[in-house]
Amino acid sequence: MVSGPALRRDTLLDFFDDLSRSRGEFLVYDDGFRSRSYTYGEVGRAARGFAARLAAQGLVRGDKVVFFSENRPEWVIAFWGCLLAGIIVVPIDYRTSPDFLARVAKIVDAKLVLVGEDVPPLNSTHTAPIWHLLTTKEPRTSRGLLFASA
């Protein structure tokens, strides 16, 4: 039995605070060499950090970010970070051509393109900044998720 007013949840963001406070593993990623796991708390903190980095770069609510990456934890974190910042996510299948990506980015007036490790090289005529999704291990601390500028 639930007491008190029920929480209305209409969007993914309505779930974020509860999700980021959950305990246990949220994501498990196997890159073919080793398996890594990420807790709900780690993903929540990284998503908030990514949202702050987007704001620091001048992106604002309603801007578009193109995702051109294979499925990976950083993709999920960047997705949540964009939602937190009010940024519109424009996913492009990572197996498509860089020319298609460039056309879509131009049509939507993308302010940023996030790329993974398994995408073809992008041509130099692309106009939006490009950030690479990377995973790093920081010395003497827990995992750090890094989004490196190209």
Residue with tokens 């498990």: 28
Q: Which range is most confident: 8-12, 19-23, 95-99?
A: 95-99
Is it the case that residue 99 has pLDDT exceeding 70? yes
Q: Give the β-pairing of 112-115 and 64-68.
A: parallel
Which of 14-18, 36-40, 60-64 shows the lowest mean pLDDT across its residues? 14-18
User: Which residues does 87 contact at the CB level (< 8 Å), separation at least 6?
Assistant: 54, 59, 61, 62, 63, 64, 65, 81
pTM of the model: 0.78
